[in-house]
Homo-oligomer: A and B are copies of this chain.
Amino acid sequence: MSSSTKPVLMNQQEIEAIQKELGKDSLMGKSLKELILDTDKFMALGIDVPGHSPAGGYAHNKHTANAKYIDQAGRLFLITGEEKYAQFTADLITGYADKYLGMDFHEQKNTNPPGRFFHQMLNEHVWMLFVGLGYSCISAWLSEEQRQHIITKLFEPMLEVATVKYDHDFDRIHNHGVWAVAGVAAIGAAIGQEKYIDLSIHGLLNDDVTGGFLAQISKLFAPSGYYIEGPYYHRYAIRPLCLLAEITQRYRPELDIFNFKGQVIGKTIQAMLSSAYPNGVFPALNDASKTMGYSDEGVVTAVSLYAKHYPEDKNIYGIAKLQGRLWVSGCGAALSESYEAQDNVELPCLPSVELNEGPNGDRGAQAFIRSQNANGDISQVVMAYGQHGMGHGNFDGLGMTFFNNNQEVLREYGYGRWVNVEHKFGGRYLDENKSYARQTIAHNLVTVDEKCQNDFNVKLADSKHCEPHFFTGNAPIQAVSAFARDYYPGVDQQRSVLLVEHETLEHPLLVDLFRLDSEASHQYDYAIQYSGQIIRTNSDVKQHSTLNTLGSDFGYQHIWNEAQGAADADTTLVTWLQGESFYTWLSASSSDETLFFTRTGANDPDFNLRSETSLVLRRQAKDSLFASVVETHGFFDESTEVCNGATGKFTAVNVIGYSDAATVVEIIGDDVSLLVMVNNSPDVTEQTQATAEFGGVTYSWTGYFAVEPKA
């Protein structure tokens, strides 16, 4: 039987569109130049098809890289016509075909079944996708004998393993499942065995429900496009999703995949992009690295694909500018053409957005609020009040991070993992991911009684979700509010966060009103994860001469209690310096509360944790309101020895009153003082007229909240 010799994702018209950018300064021209340099550098190392190694070891890394460069060299053969690329691709794939059936499966190490090249099939699926695509680019260049060798000794046995031996793992509704179906579809298409395309699209049962690509994209995302595990996993799933969407469009155009289910593919790409910080790095929602972002290949692929298949969105050009490159493909050619046609491409300030969660969009949400100042700097608040996020979920309902001046200010620790570093448990998740990074105290919110939300029980946590209260994404005052009920037994929580622009302030003021409601008395620890040098505090803090941990469980065992002192009788102030900016945190307090300065690293025998710092304001109470602000101020540059504005404008936060109905606080500053009023009723609307009486004074406003100048 004669095999297919058609490139899966490159037709002649696309090849020519890419070819004409060779050597040009366009986005495609630059991306192509990079691709050639990168591929040539790898090819210069010579061919090596190694055996087994643990994750992060040489063989693991080499197998991964070989697949990547088979795809790249295959494309470059079609684009440049240079035979060296075909030869390299052919030699490498043939090397794999020579070895595959002679290699044993790895020993099984986790729930993921093992492959022959990799310790888990997930990596083997990834490998299949890129090798299938790369092979298809050179298949016409191969002899029929060479093709048959590769097909019978490598591709067909691999398809058998993926769809028969491990059928239970093949087309499940999970981000790993997308790699599986995409890998199988790519090889199926490459060798002209289209039944594998159909299995991939419709599932082994051909029901579009239990598995397959259509079921996956129907179920994995909320109506908003948000992916339950967060952006770090979203961008991992988006790459096979985009590649399989392209395959589907070419081989099964009748499915009209890019308009499938209300354009779910376009919507989920937009949702993923809209979660990023202004520097293009994703907030580490759930288990995630601190550095994953727009520069990831998956995101680059998604942006090119979006530009080709969906209506023009100028922010897509801005994102492509941040990325500085594109996916060298027909999609990329389309992006490059429209990008170069723009008069001017600005770095984007994406609109503020609330992304709902759950299959019906009714299981909480994630808020992304942005405000750009006159100097172009973007402040961003991220607040998590959606679902738990399954096995990778962090126990941080109502958690919040804050970003400006090109740095994360109220910080997320990220995962406890040194990805692909073999000496760190083979690069896998470390014990400290569970014992610290996912615990409530590791985040910017309140920990009750030194315990974790939902008792660190994933099943319990997955059964709950937070309740959105209100979201307003319009300047000058943007705000979000949500409830977390019974995340701690008998304690209800409400967090309202406002980002307030004001003419006297260079950066917007972050206002954080964290309210707890309980019949019984509890210990409440309001924590802020910061980075940098403490500049001053008005708390009478004493450093400990011997360091002990802040507690014994739920993450506290990993935290050194470095210093503590009585909180200020009125407003506790701490200023720190991070990079070139000062930040001052002011929180309404009383002198029977305690302020702690902490650092991670305790009970960490293998030095797995990074050394990070936090502030913890502790009080004992039933109902309570933590009313805080974070002011961004000043400038410090050690190298030029310039320092300005080390003292902030604000001096006090006073709680006027709070109840189930309303919260009123005043924020006092040198030349700006504000009265902040929030309606706490779950059924508030934009039209609700509210009045609240505290201390004999009546406060009135319309809608969710009001911020007024204070006389």
Q: Using a CB–CB distance below 8 Å, which chain A residues touch chain B? A: 56, 61, 289-293, 295-296, 418-424, 427, 533-536, 542-543, 545-549, 560, 562-563, 575, 577, 597, 599, 601-605, 607, 610-611, 613, 636, 638-644, 646-647
Bound Cα distance from A183 to B557, whole angstroms:
59
Of B290, B423, B546, B604, the residue contacting A535 (CB under 8 A) is B423
Q: Within 8 Å CB of A536, what residues of B?
A: 423
Determine if B642 and A420 form an interchain contact, defined as CB atoms under 8 angstroms apart: yes
Bound Cα distance from A412 to B562, whole angstroms:
24
Q: Within 8 Å CB of A642, what residues of B?
A: 61, 420
Determine if A295 and B639 form an interchain contact, defined as CB atoms under 8 angstroms apart: yes
Determine if A636 and B546 form an interchain contact, defined as CB atoms under 8 angstroms apart: no
Q: Within 8 Å CB of A293, what residues of B?
A: 639
Which residue in chain B gives the minimum CB-CB distance to A422?
A: B646
Determine if B638 and A535 form an interchain contact, defined as CB atoms under 8 angstroms apart: no
Determine if A421 and B639 form an interchain contact, defined as CB atoms under 8 angstroms apart: no
Q: Knowing A291-B639, A422-B643 touch, does A546 contact B543 (C-beta < 8 A)?
A: no
Determine if B423 and A56 form an interchain contact, defined as CB atoms under 8 angstroms apart: no
A286 to chain B, nearest CB (A): 17
Q: Within 8 Å CB of A289, what residues of B?
A: 638-639, 641
Q: Within 8 Å CB of A636, what residues of B?
A: 420-421
Which residue in chain B gives the minimum CB-CB distance to A557?
A: B545
Bound Cα distance from A61 to B640, whole angstroms:
12
A329 to chain B, nearest CB (A): 19
Determine if B638 and A604 form an interchain contact, defined as CB atoms under 8 angstroms apart: no
Bound Cα distance from A572 to B418, whole angstroms:
23
A338 to chain B, nearest CB (A): 27
Q: Knowing A289-B639, A639-B296 touch, does A421 contact B543 (C-beta < 8 A)?
A: no
Determine if B543 and A605 form an interchain contact, defined as CB atoms under 8 angstroms apart: yes
Which residue in chain B gives the minimum CB-CB distance to A645?
A: B58
Of B548, B549, B563, B601, the residue contacting A562 (CB under 8 A) is B601
Determine if B534 and A607 form an interchain contact, defined as CB atoms under 8 angstroms apart: yes
Q: Within 8 Å CB of A290, what residues of B?
A: 638
Q: Within 8 Å CB of A543, what residues of B?
A: 602-605
Oligomer copy total: 2
Q: Which 10 pairs show the lowest CB-CB distances between chains A and B? A: A534-B607, A547-B547, A291-B639, A420-B643, A423-B536, A291-B638, A419-B641, A423-B535, A543-B605, A421-B643
A565 to chain B, nearest CB (A): 10
A1 to chain B, nearest CB (A): 39
Q: Knowing A638-B289, A638-B290 touch, does A546 contact B546 (C-beta < 8 A)?
A: yes
Determine if A421 and B292 form an interchain contact, defined as CB atoms under 8 angstroms apart: no
Bound Cα distance from A534 to B289, whole angstroms:
18
Q: Within 8 Å CB of A421, what residues of B?
A: 535, 577, 636, 643, 646
Q: Within 8 Å CB of A640, what residues of B?
A: 295-296
Q: Within 8 Å CB of A424, what residues of B?
A: 535
Q: Within 8 Å CB of A597, what residues of B?
A: 607
A272 to chain B, nearest CB (A): 16
Bound Cα distance from A647 to B57, whole angstroms:
10
A522 to chain B, nearest CB (A): 28
A44 to chain B, nearest CB (A): 13
Which residue in chain B gives the minimum CB-CB distance to A582?
A: B421
Bound Cα distance from A611 to B610, whole angstroms:
12
Q: Within 8 Å CB of A542, what residues of B?
A: 605
Q: Within 8 Å CB of A603, what residues of B?
A: 543, 545
Bound Cα distance from A597 to B291, whole angstroms:
27
Bound Cα distance from A289 to B643, whole angstroms:
14
Determine if A56 and B638 form an interchain contact, defined as CB atoms under 8 angstroms apart: no
Q: Which of A295, A427, A535 has the most CB of B within 10 A?
A: A535
Q: Within 8 Å CB of A534, what residues of B?
A: 607
Q: Which of A548, A602, A610 has the most CB of B within 10 A?
A: A602
Q: Within 8 Å CB of A577, what residues of B?
A: 418, 421
Bound Cα distance from A295 to B636, whole angstroms:
16
Of B56, B535, B545, B638, the residue contacting A643 (CB under 8 A) is B56
Bound Cα distance from A510 to B420, whole angstroms:
27
Bound Cα distance from A677 to B562, whole angstroms:
47
Known: A421-B636, A533-B607, A545-B549; 4 extra A-B contacts, CB below 8 A, are A418-B533, A421-B535, A545-B603, A597-B607
Bound Cα distance from A549 to B544, whole angstroms:
11
A60 to chain B, nearest CB (A): 10
Bound Cα distance from A636 to B61, whole angstroms:
12
Which residue in chain B gives the minimum CB-CB distance to A610?
A: B533
Determine if B560 and A547 form an interchain contact, defined as CB atoms under 8 angstroms apart: yes
Q: Within 8 Å CB of A296, what residues of B?
A: 639-640
Bound Cα distance from A90 to B704, whole angstroms:
54
A170 to chain B, nearest CB (A): 24
Can you list 13 A-B contacts (CB < 8 A)?
Answer: A61-B642, A291-B638, A295-B640, A420-B642, A420-B643, A423-B535, A423-B647, A533-B610, A543-B602, A543-B603, A546-B546, A547-B547, A599-B611
Determine if A646 and B546 form an interchain contact, defined as CB atoms under 8 angstroms apart: no
A544 to chain B, nearest CB (A): 9
Bound Cα distance from A575 to B424, whole angstroms:
12
Which residue in chain B gives the minimum CB-CB distance to A534?
A: B607
A364 to chain B, nearest CB (A): 29
Which residue in chain B gives the minimum CB-CB distance to A576?
A: B607
Bound Cα distance from A639 to B534, whole angstroms:
29
Which residue in chain B gives the minimum CB-CB distance to A62?
A: B644
A299 to chain B, nearest CB (A): 11
